[in-house]
Structure 1
């Protein structure tokens, strides 16, 4: 018999602040089985205290205190977990956390990741390139490790024009640079085929599935992040930068996808909205 599995991902923009603004109430109502968090910005002890003893918590904090941090919280304990991404001299702390979970008769691998936001022509963007390069190498390894694999989190790249409301005004901004988007062309391109990216570069496709785009179709959004500036939220002038990236076998089990957008600006507990997906795993 297939087993239902609800996985949610959200950049909390500081878990303590999120809890003060209403995250606990949201979580209590959503019946999530695996919760992926980014920008935790707290210690493991604080995270455990906030979520409570019913959750098994894995947390990888950033090297710099009070920055980044990714976590996976689950109803059932992970069988194994891994951290670090890329070369040994690359600091990926607080940005990549993998775990294997027993779901029914299967193992599902889930990654919570927080890609650098980047700033054009600065060392911050250089770190983003390194991270995206490391992801590009890790994707086929993950698929080989487990055909039921999932990468979720704040990937800080809007893949296509329909993923950003004001795409014309952001063509030279970090998060929508052609070179950044080309990585995603390869991530989601047909496995093994040569993919030409939006920037003209070529490389092999990895065959992963953008669950949000697969579910929503060729429509604007649905957006997952809105700037705190101006009336971005009220005008729905957002970016779709929070993803469920699944291997084809896992993507085939999706039963529902939703972005839990707040009803109003003043009811938000993060500048990102949770992305919640229901899978049905054999």
Structure 2
């Protein structure tokens, strides 16, 4: 059995104060992928990742982003956008993101599997939906929206290349992480109010839909929980969203078909020892692989 978790920890130092270290030491995961680690290497807490081997791209933006893949044994290969890959060119629309700490992947040494961690930009609203009276951030004329859409267009090409490269090496492929997109009505508690909210825009949902098919990538959690509302993986810190389980499912395991078929359970660790580790929660899947 192979246990793989993904978690947006919203800052490794804050997560450790809430008990992340104990969760990591006791959850029994073989692979853990992280997003928003938000910490340069030289400022990581002592023993930040326990006994795991670490592939880490912190990025260069202070206090933001940062992705990692933790494994029990050293990886056979590691790739991130901050190090040019002669075998896989970045699409033009991704080149502006190479120093942001948004993607890292590893080839596991003891299993024919490549695992990637992605933190996709949150984005914003297109200009025609921006209403200053309803926005927490100042209107930007759709700049954040456009940046996210360009990222997604480039990443679709990059993802297809990564999946095919893994297959050429006789490996399955698993994309995990915070995609900042909820795919369907089952993935947002208050979906009627969210049709004009970033992360649930029709064009964002269509993009995610285009990445999934029985021949390419499968949404593992939805495969195991086909008719369930959620299970949600993000809740606002504000109000009663968490208490009422009024969340979003935006943290994913997207697996090649054979790997997806081997998944036997998928759970969301809403809290550890009664404490939320982040505004997101780890999504843990067991694969009989």
TM-score normalised over the length of structure 2: 0.85
1:99 paired to 2:97: no
Give the distance between the partners of 2:49 and 2:36, measured in 1 at CA: 19
* Structure 1 Cα separation of the partners of residues 252 and 148 of structure 2: 17
Tell me the residue number matched to 2:147: 127
Partner SS state of residue 276, structure 1: strand
For residues 219-257 of structure 1, give each alpha carbon's deviation from its aligned partner in whole angstroms, at most 9, with x where no partner exists.
Answer: 210000001111000010000000000011211221221
Q: 1:143 to 1:263 in 2, by over 3 A?
A: closer
Q: Which residue of 2 aligns with 1:280?
A: 288
Q: SS in structure 1 opposite 2:112?
A: strand
Separation (CA, whole Å) in 1 of partners of 2:270 and 2:4: 16
TM-score normalised by length of structure 1: 0.87
Deviation at 1:86, TM superposition (A): 3.1
Q: Show the counterpart of 1:194.
A: none
Of 118, 123, 133, the residue aligned with 1:118 is 123
* Unmatched segments (≥5 aa) in structure 2: 82-89, 127-141
Within 5 Å, give how 1:111-260 maps onto structure 2.
Answer: 111-121=116-126, 122-147=142-167, 148-191=172-215, 207-260=216-269
What stretches of structure 1 move > 4 A for 4+ residues in a row?
none
Alpha-carbon RMSD: 1.8
The whole-number CA distance in structure 1 between the counterparts of 2:22 and 2:80 is 30
Pick which of 234-243 and 112-121 moved more: 112-121
Higher strand share: 1
Equivalent residue pairs, number:
260
Deviation of 1:185 (Å) = 1.1
The change in CA–CA distance for 1:52 and 1:110 in structure 2 (over 3 A counts) is: closer
Q: Write the distance in 1 (CA, Å) between the matches of 2:3 and 2:43.
A: 24
Cα distance in structure 1, aligned partners of 2:73 and 2:262:
20
Please report how far the alpha carbon of residue 280 of structure 1 lies from its aligned counterpart in structure 2 after TM superposition.
2.3
Matched, 1:42 2:51: no
Q: Once the 2 structures are TM-superposed, how far is the Cα of residue 62 of structure 1 from its aligned partner?
A: 2.4
Question: Which one is further off, 245-254 or 174-183?
Answer: 245-254
